[in-house]
Structure 1
């Protein structure tokens, strides 16, 4: 490996370490502020962002299955039931051709 390769590896290592340090510092400051509630809600917000971005551009069949899964999640708060209903609705809609 050349010196350029080692330089890139070094820069990336420093960047990765810096991101973690900045996250720790920012997290500590947020916990001490009036915005601490954001950290409590962050895992759910990340999941919502991932799900909605994956639904963008999907056909109606996927949206209906996601809606059914959301309904089950709201009423049961059970992950396995939510996944099962979502998959079954999606498969059922695929069988009938929607």
Structure 2
């Protein structure tokens, strides 16, 4: 390999390391700030935003299956049970011709 390739590899390695260090330092500063409470809620908010964006524009059976899965999540507080119930509801609605 020529020196240009090695320079590019070195530059990309430094950039990747810098991004990780910046994230680490930023995380430390956020945890020490008055906005640290938002970090506790962030994983749930990310999941809700992913589910909401994936449901946008979907047909009614998908929404019904999502509602059934939400009910299972509230009752069981178990991720795998929630997924199983949601998939079963969606399959059942498909079997019924919806």
TM-score normalised per structure 2: 0.82
Structure 2: 5+ residue runs without aligned partners? none
Does the C-alpha gap of structure 1 residues 31 and 13 become closer, same or farther in structure 2, counting only changes over 3 Å? same
Give the distance between the partners of 2:86 and 2:96, measured in 1 at CA: 16
Render the CA deviation track for 1:17-50: whole Å, top value 9, x for unaligned: 1221111111111111111111111221222222
Give the distance between the partners of 2:73 and 2:14, measured in 1 at CA: 41
Give the paired residue count.
98
When the two chains are superposed, the root-mean-square deviation of aligned CA atoms in Å is 1.9
| Aligned equivalent of 2:48 | 48
TM-score normalised per structure 1: 0.82
Give the distance between the partners of 2:54 and 2:90, measured in 1 at CA: 15
Structure 1: 5+ residue runs without aligned partners? none
